[in-house]
Amino acid sequence: MSKKEAPNYKMEPKLRKTFYIPSLNGIRALAFILVYLSHVGLGHIIPGGFGVTVFFFLSGYLITTLLRMEYEKTSSISLKHFYLRRTYRIFPPMYITLLVGVLFSIVGLSSKEFDTAGLIAQMLHFTNYYLILVGSDGLVPSTSIYWSLAIEEHFYLVFPLALLSLIKGKSYKTIATALTFLCVLVLVWRCILVLGFDISHNYTYHASDTRLDSLIFGCILGLWGNPMLEKNSFLDQQGSTLKMSVIILTCCGAILFCFLFRNEVFRETFRYSIQGIALLPLFYYAIKQSHWKIFSILEYAPIKWIGILSYTLYLSHLLALSLAGSILWDNPSPILKACIAFLIALLFSVVMYKFVEKPFARLRKRLHDS
């Protein structure tokens, strides 16, 4: 796309200097809460996997929005700056938490041990395929959640480069259409694996090649109908508040159907696609119409604070549950264990935010931001 075509996707003036989406921290918090409740023993009724899908979608939307803003401002995308931002933001909490898991295992706070191959796989962002090929036994105890980080890192090795190659000659809508076609291909690939080769849940749930569409759906929203960068999206043209409410309810119903319909073939093929499509309008209205009462919880102070800490909470919550289990050796109360583990993870995340995440953010700005 030439710079002259960019005004079709006008950015709100205030976003040219600063970029903050209040409801996103609330969405992060709710996604983490789903994951956490699932892992404390409520997985049979709480869809923790959907929380991960929401994280994927949010990541795709946010990264694409930032890249698009950079292009509209500079007529280019700096791959160097993109990967530096990822390095400063993602790697310090990830590797520190992994080190804590290693220390837990060494001092005997975990009943499981890890091996060198598992640790290297996690350090090099191949946790997901290690889980598929070997299992969780060789991984650092209570850090198997790193599989989802591996998917994101695999995707972001390729996506910015692909976007840079397309954005200079194509419209946002054309790129979004191409990404939609890619989502269809991923769905077809899952169907081939499940129906043609009887591939199990372990692969379709954890593999980058079967889950990348959850990120791509977020990228599509970042490019076409972006609620922060476009004043007149097609979703704003649906008519009255009543019609928009019907869209929201329909999307919620589609997601609920994915929770309740337990057919294994459906769950490992169409489930992720339906959830991704349903999240498009839900994210749009949660951001654009954040003043609606239905979305007001996303901006409650405690929810926002959990959202700010959600990355480290996500990384550390299984370790916290393991430590809480050691503390409560003679008291197996799952509720008490869940509460103590949450407090441990919260304290760890606050410390990481203050002494690791914020200093590294300042360091990046000082060394690399112009």
Q: What DSSP designation does 11 have?
A: P
Residue 76 has pLDDT above 80, yes or no: yes
CA–CA separation, 16 and 232 (whole Å): 18
Other Cβ atoms less than 10 A from the Cβ of 281: the count is: 19
The mean pLDDT value for 7-36 works out to 72
Whole-number pLDDT of residue 18? 52
String of DSSP letters for 132-192: HHT-STTSPTT-TTHHHHHHHHHHHHHHHHHHHHHHTTS-HHHHHHHHHHHHHHHHHHHHI
Residue 370 has pLDDT above 60, yes or no: no
Average pLDDT, the chain: 91
CA–CA separation, 252 and 96 (whole Å): 37
CA–CA separation, 36 and 340 (whole Å): 13
> What is the pTM for the complete model shown?
0.93
Sign of CA dihedral 132, 134, 137, 138: negative
Whole-number pLDDT of residue 234? 64
Higher pLDDT, 366 or 330: 366
